[in-house]
A and B are shown apart, each in its own frame.
Chain A
Amino acid sequence: MFSRDTLHLWILAGALALVGVGFFTVRSLTIPPSFGQFGHFRGAALETAANKERKLTTRGDCTACHDTLKHEMGKSHERVHCIECHGDGKAHMTSCKDAKAAAKPGVALTCDKTDLMPTNIKDICLHCHQDTIGRAKKHPQIKFDEHMKDNDPKDPKSPMVCMQCHIPHDPDPSNEPDGAKEDKDDEAKPAEAATPTAAPAAATPAVGGAE
């Protein structure tokens, strides 16, 4: 009953109601506008997640210019991503982009290639080809020391020892390196450079379609 006898209870109720109103005021001010847009979460979070910076070089980034390389890759290594041996090639890509922007017809593109060649191919090869329990029998694996004994390379101490017998792009043991192949990579470039304006357009369908 609302009387002098219950006044203190009403004041108490009022104070609690005030806290309640305060709560809902702060609540309405705090909830992000996109909350609940697509479900019980912040809708704007989707956009943030989708637009996060992409860091690692994709296969598409490589094949955008180097589609010819694909033909050079042997069957056994066709799924190996370029970055496994060549690094992420960020400097290379930036310099190529600049070079293309300044390119003149008939002049070869000069892309920075300094960071592309591995200095220790042995470690990279053994990464996948060291004899290890867990690897399927059909996967080619070696015990390094035994392999050196069996095959007797010219310079077994060299970190590039594997390349004395194998071509990394097509390492099938029957395939001997012959020096001539290494230049092909460079030959491919002027051909592309001849039509610098068409190159990016032609490359576009290749993005994301590496398979």
Chain B
Amino acid sequence: MMPHAGEFIFPNDLNGVAWTVMIVLYPYITGLVAGAFVVAALYHVFGRKELAPVARFALAASFSFCAFATLPLLLHLHQPQRAFFIMFMPNFTSAMAGFGFIYSFYLTLLAVEILLVFRTDIVAMANEKGVRSLLYKLLSLGVLRETAKSKEIDAKWVHALSVLGIPAACVLHGYVGFIFGGIKANPWWSTALMPVIFLASAIVSGIAMLIVLYIVFSKIRRVKVDDECLRSMMKTLWLFLILAVVLESLELLNMAYEAGEEWHILSRLVTEKLRFSFVYVQLIIGSAIPFVLLLIGWMKKTGPRTRVTLGMISGLLVLVQVLSMRFNVVIGGQMLSKSFRGFVEYIPEWQGREGILVAIGVFTMPFVLLAAVSQILPVWKIDAHDHQA
């Protein structure tokens, strides 16, 4: 720093950042949607049979997160009553305009796939007596019988939807990355790597979330954690974690090496403003430590009990890593005043519509829904026809 050069931010930045913790939460939740779906697809499409114990649950989790992915956005909008304008009068030069359509498509796809995957069970329960069966009658779409032929057709559709869901998940989340990557005014965001980084970290977060939920639900249900399944998930997580961290680091390395006009302020952003959330949390606690833990965890020699412990710890750490990554991108990018001569102050708000308390509430909702879904549908059942597909 030159002796006389003080900080200067554009006057409108004195009011703080425009995108708050809700916009941190939004890509986090959509990331979990995409990641969880990838696990289901690994089983349905890529024949990773060892993932059978979590295949159905992964779908249910993906759907539960997807159902609440728009809630943080709605809470963020300053004119929420006009939210649907984005689908009624979309301006397609905006990276944001496609969101409503991509999101609706994906939510529909997930809902349909779930109805078909669970159809045999739904039909069986719909044919039972009692009030509860009414719900299943609704879910069975009023057709209360299955034939061998219909099961075969359904299995084909499930396979097709799983295949279609993979590019859809990539589009859904790569697209979220583009919302940031396409902003040339902000050098911390403006990189073609952004969609890929978001996608990689989405898959990472989804697998980590499934590992954690699988272990927690197994404890609650008092069942043994399937060792092969957990090992496979940890191995996949390890792989994608490497990919995500390498991409994230490459982006930064490239900026630092090129050391362009904005690097003087970006380097200060990383080392001063984001030192805790980027260097300590995202890189060390969230990436380096789980990298080692997962490596030990997926090795064959490791015992099943240790594996569960390692899976749980590394899963949680990776979840924190991805959350901090979202924070570092969304909030970090806005800390950079467009004057490139100073930093916008970010003061997290606890109460209020966009406060942390509401954010916690919003993030709880997918879990409530998931718990409800797991009560209604046999998410832990390993189905025979799944194996055929």
**Chain B 151-170: CB-based contact to A (< 8 A → 1; otherwise 0):** 00100010000000000000
Judging by beta carbons under 8 Å apart, are A27 and B153 in contact? no
Judging by beta carbons under 8 Å apart, are A30 and B88 in contact? yes
CB distance from A133 to the nearest CB of B (A): 12
Q: Judge if A40 is at the interface, Cβ distance under 8 Å.
A: yes
Judging by beta carbons under 8 Å apart, are A16 and B108 in contact? yes
A12 with B141: in contact, given A5-B149, A6-B153, A31-B89 (CB under 8 Å)?
yes
Interface residues of B in 104-140 (CB under 8 A from A): 108, 112, 115, 119, 140
* Cross-interface CB contact of A23 among B87, B89, B149, B150, cutoff 8 Å: B87
Judging by beta carbons under 8 Å apart, are A27 and B142 in contact? no
Q: Judge if A9 is at the interface, Cβ distance under 8 Å.
A: yes
Judging by beta carbons under 8 Å apart, are A11 and B88 in contact? no
Q: Judge if A8 is at the interface, Cβ distance under 8 Å.
A: yes
A7 with B143: in contact, given A12-B115, A16-B108 (CB under 8 Å)?
yes
* Cross-interface CB contact of B153 among A9, A12, A35, A40, cutoff 8 Å: A9
Chain A: CB-nearest residue to B88: A27
Contacts of B257 in A (CB 8 A): none
Contacts of B142 in A (CB 8 A): 8, 11
Contacts of B140 in A (CB 8 A): 8
Contacts of A35 in B (CB 8 A): 89
Chain B: CB-nearest residue to A13: B112
Judging by beta carbons under 8 Å apart, are A11 and B141 in contact? yes
CB distance from B104 to the nearest CB of A (A): 9
Expressed in whole angstroms, the Cα–Cα distance for A8 and B85 within the complex equals 33
Contacts of B119 in A (CB 8 A): 8
Chain A: CB-nearest residue to B140: A8
Q: Judge if B12 is at the interface, Cβ distance under 8 Å.
A: no
A4 with B147: in contact, given A9-B153, A9-B157, A12-B141 (CB under 8 Å)?
yes
Judging by beta carbons under 8 Å apart, are B115 and A27 in contact? no
Judging by beta carbons under 8 Å apart, are A8 and B89 in contact? no
Interface residues of B in 260-297 (CB under 8 A from A): none
Expressed in whole angstroms, the Cα–Cα distance for A174 and B333 within the complex equals 57
**Chain A 1-26: CB-based contact to B (< 8 A → 1; otherwise 0):** 00111111101100110000001001
For chain A, the bracket of interface size reads 10 to 19
Contacts of A26 in B (CB 8 A): 84, 88
Judging by beta carbons under 8 Å apart, are B143 and A40 in contact? no
CB distance from A114 to the nearest CB of B (A): 36
Chain B: CB-nearest residue to A11: B141
Judging by beta carbons under 8 Å apart, are B153 and A5 in contact? yes
Interface residues of B in 87-103 (CB under 8 A from A): 87-89, 91
CB distance from B125 to the nearest CB of A (A): 15
Listed residue (A5, A7, A8, A23) with the most chain B CB atoms within 10 angstroms of its CB:
A8
Judging by beta carbons under 8 Å apart, are A30 and B84 in contact? yes
Contacts of B84 in A (CB 8 A): 26, 30
CB distance from B101 to the nearest CB of A (A): 10
Expressed in whole angstroms, the Cα–Cα distance for A7 and B142 within the complex equals 9
Contacts of B91 in A (CB 8 A): 40
Expressed in whole angstroms, the Cα–Cα distance for A35 and B88 within the complex equals 11
Expressed in whole angstroms, the Cα–Cα distance for A33 and B87 within the complex equals 17
CB distance from A82 to the nearest CB of B (A): 28
Expressed in whole angstroms, the Cα–Cα distance for A15 and B111 within the complex equals 12
Interface residues of A in 20-75 (CB under 8 A from B): 23, 26-27, 30-31, 35, 40
CB distance from A10 to the nearest CB of B (A): 9
Judging by beta carbons under 8 Å apart, are B88 and A6 in contact? no
CB distance from A9 to the nearest CB of B (A): 7
CB distance from B27 to the nearest CB of A (A): 25
Expressed in whole angstroms, the Cα–Cα distance for A164 and B147 within the complex equals 105
Expressed in whole angstroms, the Cα–Cα distance for A40 and B90 within the complex equals 9
Contacts of A16 in B (CB 8 A): 108
* Cross-interface CB contact of A8 among B87, B108, B141, cutoff 8 Å: B141
Contacts of B89 in A (CB 8 A): 31, 35, 40
Judging by beta carbons under 8 Å apart, are B88 and A31 in contact? yes
Judging by beta carbons under 8 Å apart, are A5 and B87 in contact? no
Contacts of A5 in B (CB 8 A): 147, 149-150, 153
Expressed in whole angstroms, the Cα–Cα distance for A31 and B84 within the complex equals 11
Chain A: CB-nearest residue to B90: A40
**Chain A 117-144: CB-based contact to B (< 8 A → 1; otherwise 0):** 0000000000000000000000000000
Interface residues of B in 231-279 (CB under 8 A from A): none
Contacts of A8 in B (CB 8 A): 119, 140-143, 150
Expressed in whole angstroms, the Cα–Cα distance for A4 and B142 within the complex equals 12
Chain B: CB-nearest residue to A39: B91
| Sample (30) of A-B pairs whose CB atoms are under 8 Å apart | A4-B147, A4-B150, A5-B150, A5-B153, A6-B150, A7-B143, A8-B140, A8-B141, A8-B142, A8-B143, A8-B150, A9-B153, A9-B157, A11-B141, A11-B142, A12-B112, A12-B115, A12-B141, A15-B141, A16-B108, A26-B84, A26-B88, A27-B87, A27-B88, A30-B84, A30-B85, A30-B88, A31-B88, A35-B89, A40-B91
Q: Give the interface of B toward A (CB within 8 A).
A: 84-85, 87-89, 91, 108, 112, 115, 119, 140-143, 147, 149-150, 153, 157
Given contacts A23-B87, A30-B84, 16 further A-B contacts (CB under 8 A): A3-B149, A5-B147, A5-B149, A7-B143, A8-B119, A8-B141, A9-B157, A11-B141, A11-B142, A11-B143, A12-B141, A26-B84, A27-B87, A30-B88, A40-B89, A40-B91
9 closest A-B pairs by beta carbon, nearest first, are A8-B143, A5-B150, A5-B149, A27-B88, A11-B141, A8-B141, A30-B88, A7-B143, A40-B91
